[in-house]
Amino acid sequence: MDKAGLYIHLPFCTQKCNYCDFYSIKTNPTTVENFINALIQEIHLYSNHQVFSQVKFASIFLGGGTPSLLSSNQLNRIIDKLNQTFNFDADIEFTIEANPESLSSNKLKEYLSSGVNRLSIGVQSFADENLKKLGRSHNVQQAENVIRWAHEVGFKNISIDLIFAIPGQTQTQWEANLNRAIELNPNHISTYGLTIAPGTVLEKRIKSGLEKCQEEETERQMYLSTINIFSEQGYNQYEISNFAKPGFECLHNEMYWNFSPYLSLGPSAHSYWENRRQWNVSNVDKYFESIKNGEKPIAEFENLTLEQKQLEFIFLSLRRSSGIDIDKFYQLFKTSFLEKYKSSIKKLESYQGDSLFTFEDNRFKLTSEGFVLYNEVCGLF
Ligand code: SF4
């Protein structure tokens, strides 16, 4: 039986962060309650699905938004419905994304006893001035408390997110962030360069001259120092933005990268199985309306062409430290990667500066410098 991943998008937040362009709306108890009822209906609509009623799910990931706004009672109602509807591995990885201001030690205990075994905490920075700039609704003390409580109540798999290249942040401050993260001993750390997305508060502040974007070179140095500092401390870089102690790589993400089937529920969530990609409407009202009519809230779907699938395989593999498995590419597509993409590889070879890729053990991998230029590299394929 195939293994699959299950993602649920909970689109609620206490406030909108200054850099955020994810689909999220301001929380309000009635809408959250209505949403859970609708979500339970959406789960039900997949009970006879030709693929997802047959597979075993190896991971559940509650993302958002701020899933940790759910009370344990609300979480348990969702879990009960999932258990009635689908099959799950006994040793499932069950992650909840959490924002520090929405957690207490008690709530963490309750989540743990509901079966959540991986916590992904949106710390973003260990400097209050950075958090203010990002418009986060927590402070450093709250973030540190949550990491400590998570250890104390018995979470064995704790991940934190950090953001670099925040306006005004220096290299020294960023390295202090990394060192503080290591002291607090999570098993997994994700780091993202700040993207200034159109329409966000931060973009307006930059346009009006109130803030200044970081220089590309500063961002590059911050990224390269992250790789060095984490690898010295036993956090292996297994993906462009992800670092983990051995055995703590995120299984759910690995399933996306491996083309495993995944079902995603909730507004704006994307699913994939058997070459088909489908995504839900990105609007809570439209979501409610479809569910009320007994229909899946699907916005659109597409069947991937061979070319799209090959490119997706390349782009996902290039994000990983293990790179493109040349043999696997041939097995999947009956085409030689090196032959088909030789002109792209030639262009990469002619890049002036440190080499962007290596080719070893039949794997084509990006170097750290290659990761820095990931988007440009992908543009060559
Ligand atoms: S908590 Fe996350 S999803 Fe919510 S507004 Fe902030 S960045 Fe966006």
The DSSP output letter for 51 is T
How far, in whole angstroms, is CA 107 from its chain's centroid? 23
Determine the distance separating the centroid of ligand 1 and the alpha carbon of 137, expressed in angstroms: 9
Cα 190 from Cα 248, distance rounded (Å): 12
Determine the distance separating the centroid of ligand 1 and the alpha carbon of 20, expressed in angstroms: 6
Walk me through the domains of the chain, giving residue ranges and CATH numbers: 3-257 (3.20.20.70), 306-379 (1.10.10.920)
- In this predicted structure, the answer to whether residue 20 has a pLDDT above a threshold of 90 is yes
- In this predicted structure, the answer to whether residue 354 has a pLDDT above a threshold of 80 is no
- Residues contacting ligand 1 via CB (< 6 Å): 13, 16-17, 20, 22, 24, 64-66, 99, 122
- In this predicted structure, the answer to whether residue 352 has a pLDDT above a threshold of 80 is no
Which own/partner pairs from 309-316 qualify as long-range (CB within 8 Å, at least 24 positions apart)? 309/275, 309/333, 310/335, 310/340, 311/381, 312/259, 313/259, 314/341, 314/378, 314/381, 315/378, 315/381, 316/256, 316/257, 316/259
Cα 184 from Cα 151, distance rounded (Å): 9
User: Which of 175, 194, 147, 192 has the alpha carbon at shortest distance from 19?
Assistant: 194
**Ligand 1 pocket test target in 22, 120, 125, 161 with most atoms within 8 Å of CB:** 22
Alpha helices in 101-170 (DSSP H): 105-114, 128-134, 140-153
**Ligand 1 pocket test target in 24, 101, 130 with most atoms within 8 Å of CB:** 24
Crossing angle for the helix pair 171-184 and 140-153, nearest 10 degrees? 20
User: Which of 100, 158, 124 has the alpha carbon at shortest distance from 18?
Assistant: 124
377 in Cβ contact with 319 (< 8 Å): no
Determine the distance separating the centroid of ligand 1 and the alpha carbon of 135, expressed in angstroms: 9
Residues 6+ apart with CB under 8 A from 80: none
Query: What are the strands of the beta sheet with 276-280, ordered from one edge?
Result: 236-239, 242-244, 188-193, 158-164, 118-124, 87-98, 56-64, 3-10, 262-265, 270-273, 276-280, 298-303
146 in Cβ contact with 107 (< 8 Å): no
The two tokens of residue 135 are: 């418009």
- Band (pLDDT 50/70/90 cuts) for residue 265 is very high
What's the average model confidence in pLDDT over 358-365? 93
24 in Cβ contact with 273 (< 8 Å): no
Please give the number of the atom of ligand 1 that sits closest to the Cα of 135: 6
Please give the number of the atom of ligand 1 that sits closest to the Cα of 21: 8
Q: What pLDDT is stored for residue 24 in this prediction?
A: 80
- Band (pLDDT 50/70/90 cuts) for residue 328 is very high
Alpha helices in 273-324 (DSSP H): 284-292, 306-319
- Band (pLDDT 50/70/90 cuts) for residue 28 is confident
Cα 244 from Cα 191, distance rounded (Å): 11
Query: What are the strands of the beta sheet with 324-325, ordered from one edge?
Result: 324-325, 363-366, 357-360
- In this predicted structure, the answer to whether residue 290 has a pLDDT above a threshold of 90 is yes
Cα 27 from Cα 71, distance rounded (Å): 13
- In this predicted structure, the answer to whether residue 6 has a pLDDT above a threshold of 70 is yes
- 190: β partners: 161, 242
Determine the distance separating the centroid of ligand 1 and the alpha carbon of 379, expressed in angstroms: 29
- Band (pLDDT 50/70/90 cuts) for residue 30 is confident
Q: What pLDDT is stored for residue 26 in this prediction?
A: 84
Q: What pLDDT is stored for residue 1 in this prediction?
A: 58
78 in Cβ contact with 328 (< 8 Å): no
- 87: β partners: 56
- In this predicted structure, the answer to whether residue 110 has a pLDDT above a threshold of 80 is yes
At 211 the three-state DSSP class reads coil
- In this predicted structure, the answer to whether residue 107 has a pLDDT above a threshold of 70 is yes
194 in Cβ contact with 174 (< 8 Å): no
Ligand 1 atom 7 nearest Cα? 20
Span 204-243, pLDDT tens digits: 999 999 999 999 999 999 999 999 999 999 999 999 999 9
The DSSP output letter for 320 is B
Q: Report percent pLDDT > 70 for the chain.
A: 99
Cα 289 from Cα 296, distance rounded (Å): 10
Q: Report percent pLDDT > 90 for the chain.
A: 90
Determine the distance separating the centroid of ligand 1 and the alpha carbon of 16, expressed in angstroms: 6
The single residue listed with the structure tokens 């491996």 is 258
Q: What pLDDT is stored for residue 258 in this prediction?
A: 83
Write down the mean pLDDT value for the chain.
Answer: 95
